Structure 1
Amino acid sequence: MRRREFITLFVSMAATPLAAQAQQRARVKRIAFVSPALKVSEMGLSGPPQYRAFFEELSRFGYVKGQNLVIDRYSGEGRPERYSELVRDVISTHPDLILAVAARLSLDFKMATTTIPIVTIVNDPVALGLVASIARPAGNITGVTIGTELELIGKRIELLVEAMPGLSTLSYLVSRSYWEDMRGAAAREAAKRAGVSLKAALLDSGFYLTEYQRVFSSMEGADALMVSDEAEHLATGAAIVELAAAGRIPTMYAYGEYVRLGGLMAYSIDLPETFRRLANLIDKVLKGTSPGDIPFYRPTKFELSINLKTAKSLGLALPAMLLVRANQVVE
Structure 2
Amino acid sequence: MDSRPHRRLWFPLGLGLFLLFAWCGCENLSFHPPLVGVILWTKEIHPFEESLQGVVEGLREQGYQDGLNLRLKVVNADGDRGKTAAAARNFLEQRAQLLITVGNVPTLVALEVTRDSRLPLVYANVAAPAATGIYWPGEPARARLTGTSMEVASAEQLSFLLQAKPGLKRLGILYCTATPQAIATGAAAEAVAQARGLIVIRETVTDDRSELLEEALARLLNQNIEALFLPTDPVLTKPNNLKRICDTARRARVPVMVPAGDSVALGALMAYHGDFVEIGRQAGRQAARLLAGAPPGDVLQEAPKVKRLTLNLKVARELDLPLSRQLLSRAYKLY
Q: Same fold (TM over 0.5)?
A: yes
1-structure distance, mates of 2:72, 2:211: 34
Q: 1:180 to 1:87 in 2, by over 3 A?
A: closer
What residue is the counterpart of 2:230 in the other structure? 227
What residue is the counterpart of 1:112 in the other structure? 113
Bigger drift between 176-185 and 86-95 goes to 176-185
Q: 1:309 to 1:293 in 2, by over 3 A?
A: same
Q: How far apart are 1:139 and its partner, in Å?
A: 2.4
Q: 1:316 to 1:293 in 2, by over 3 A?
A: same
**Is it true that 1:293 corresponds to 2:298 in the alignment?**
yes
Alignment equivalent of 2:320, drawn from 309, 315, 318: 315
Q: How far apart are 1:256 and its partner, in Å?
A: 0.9
Alignment equivalent of 1:274, drawn from 274, 279, 284: 279
The answer to whether the 8 A contact 2:52-2:102 is kept is no
Question: Equivalences for 1:171-190 in 2 at 5 Å?
Answer: 171-176=172-177, 178=180, 183-190=185-192
What residue is the counterpart of 1:73 in the other structure? 74
What residue is the counterpart of 1:327 in the other structure? 332
For 1:256, give the aligned amino acid.
G
Q: 1:162 to 1:259 in 2, by over 3 A?
A: same
Q: How far apart are 1:226 and its partner, in Å?
A: 1.1
Bigger drift between 109-118 and 215-224 goes to 215-224
Name the TM-score, length of structure 1 as normaliser: 0.78
The answer to whether the 8 A contact 2:135-2:142 is kept is yes
SS of aligned partner of 1:219: helix
Percent of aligned pairs sharing the same letter: 22
Count of aligned pairs between the two proteins: 302
What residue is the counterpart of 1:91 in the other structure? 89
Q: How far apart are 1:174 and its partner, in Å?
A: 1.1
Q: 1:281 to 1:199 in 2, by over 3 A?
A: same
**Is it true that 1:62 corresponds to 2:60 in the alignment?**
no
Q: 1:257 to 1:117 in 2, by over 3 A?
A: same
SS of aligned partner of 1:231: coil
**Is it true that 1:154 corresponds to 2:141 in the alignment?**
no
What residue is the counterpart of 2:197 in the other structure? 195
SS of aligned partner of 2:159: helix
Q: If you compute each CA radius of gyration, which structure gives the higher value, 1 or 2?
A: 2
What residue is the counterpart of 1:131 in the other structure? 135
**Is it true that 1:250 corresponds to 2:250 in the alignment?**
no
Bigger drift between 192-201 and 21-30 goes to 21-30
Name the TM-score, length of structure 2 as normaliser: 0.77
Structure 2 runs not aligned, ≥5 long: 1-20
Q: How far apart are 1:128 and its partner, in Å?
A: 3.5
Structure 1 runs not aligned, ≥5 long: 1-16
What residue is the counterpart of 2:37 in the other structure? 32
For 2:39, give the aligned amino acid.
V
Write out per-residue CA displacement over residues 35-59 of structure 1, whole angstroms, 9 at most, x where no aligned residue: 323249x699xx54x4444323322
The answer to whether the 8 A contact 2:52-2:280 is kept is yes
Over aligned residues, Cα RMSD in angstroms? Answer: 3.3
1-structure distance, mates of 2:30, 2:217: 53
The answer to whether the 8 A contact 1:158-1:194 is kept is no
The answer to whether the 8 A contact 2:170-2:200 is kept is yes
